[in-house]
Amino acid sequence: MTEMIKETHYGPVLFIPGENSGRYPNCHSVYIEGDKILIDPASDRKRLIKLRENPGVEAVWLTHWHEDHFMHLDLFDDIPILVSEQDAPPLSDIEVFMDSYGMDDEHEREYWPPILKKEFHFRPRRPKHFLRGGDINHLKIGTVEVISTPGHTPGHLSFFFPGPKVLLLGDYDLTKFGPWYGDLNSSIQETINSVERLRKVPARVWIASHEAGIFEEEPGTRWDQYLAVIAEREGKLVDLLKTPRTLEQIVAACIIYGRPREPKMFFELGERGHMKKHLEKLMKEDLVVKDGEYYSGS
């Protein structure tokens, strides 16, 4: 039986666990006491309603624009939100949101808006200010360092609290699934660079947005295992392309998710986005060639 993740204080930093251990479509949230800043409001709706009532929320920060990090943002319609400038556009318009995921199929674009509005409470929002990598924000509780960690999304941010030495990793979550870089503007290389940047931060506590959530000891080999998933996926793709395949045949091989899953519209989008990134990388390295609709090892 999985041990229940509990709310935990690290000085003024409060870790709020998400429902179902913070697995998609939820994530874990962080609350900065004193300054009343909530980061990533997608943990537990009932808990966030209580938090808004007491002690209150005066600002919402987002690590990035994905739906499993803003699911309960509608509870804070009258409260300013802050996000990176690069990740702001998808939050402002549902069409831009779908563009940013690389949705170019009319069925996908019909499927997603009702889901986003009903399950994720999507409402167009524009940030009052932007958070910028390299900034040191001076708050009542001390300083917070904003770290630019692109790759997962173009403007993904992580946050370091030097006082309690807490590092919020965001979606570089060190799970067995591995990194996500399946959006239109995601990047495999920037993902690797960002993980390497984060592992050098002198933290004592590491907070991830999903699953385990808290690491109170240096993650150690977890960093390498997390990044090794990228090479493992690529190796499987190269092996698959010993026989020429179309993109749809590659997607059907389920290299990312291991097997066909439902809802098909969701999982195929992720599978396709990741495979496109790997194909682009392999073609740049002259390891894969494209002939008409078919990809094959060179």
Can you give the residue range of the structural domain that contains 49?
A: 8-219
Can you tell me the distance from the alpha carbon of 10 to that of 32, in angstroms, rounded to the nearest whole number? Answer: 10
Q: How confident is the model at residue 15 (pLDDT cuts 50, 70, 90)?
A: very high
Q: Which residue has the tokens 């979550």?
A: 173
Residues 88 and 126 in one domain: yes
Q: Give the number of other Cβ atoms within 10 Å of residue 194's Cβ.
A: 23
Secondary structure percentages of the chain, helix, strand, coil, to 5: 35, 20, 45
Helix (H) or strand (E) holding 118: helix 106-118
pLDDT single digits (tens) 53-86:
999 999 999 999 999 999 999 999 999 999 999 9
Counting beta carbons within 10 angstroms of the beta carbon of residue 158, is it exposed (0 to 12), middle (13 to 18) or buried (19 or more)?
buried
Read off the pTM: 0.97
For residue 166, give the amino acid letter.
Answer: V
- Residues 105, 177, single domain; the answer is yes
Angle at 25 between CA 62 and CA 20, to 5 degrees: 110
Question: How many separate domains does the chain show?
Answer: 2
**134-175: pLDDT as tens digits:** 999 999 999 999 999 999 999 999 999 999 999 999 999 999
The residue among 77, 44, 42 whose CA lies nearest residue 63 is: 42
DSSP β-bridge partners for residue 194: none
Question: Cβ-count burial of 260 within 10 angstroms (0-12 exposed, 13-18 middle, 19+ buried)?
Answer: exposed
- Residue 47, φ and ψ in degrees, nearest 5: -65, -40
Residue 297 lies in a domain: no
Residue at a domain's end among 166, 198, 219: 219
Distance CA 251, CA 152 (A): 20
* Residue 128's pLDDT band (cuts 50, 70, 90): confident
Are 185 and 204 contained in the same domain?
A: yes
Is 114 in the same domain as 157?
Answer: yes
User: In CATH, what number is assigned to the domain containing residue 112?
Assistant: 3.60.15.10
Is there a domain that residue 153 lies in? yes
With respect to residue 106, please indicate whether it lies within any of the assigned structural domains.
yes
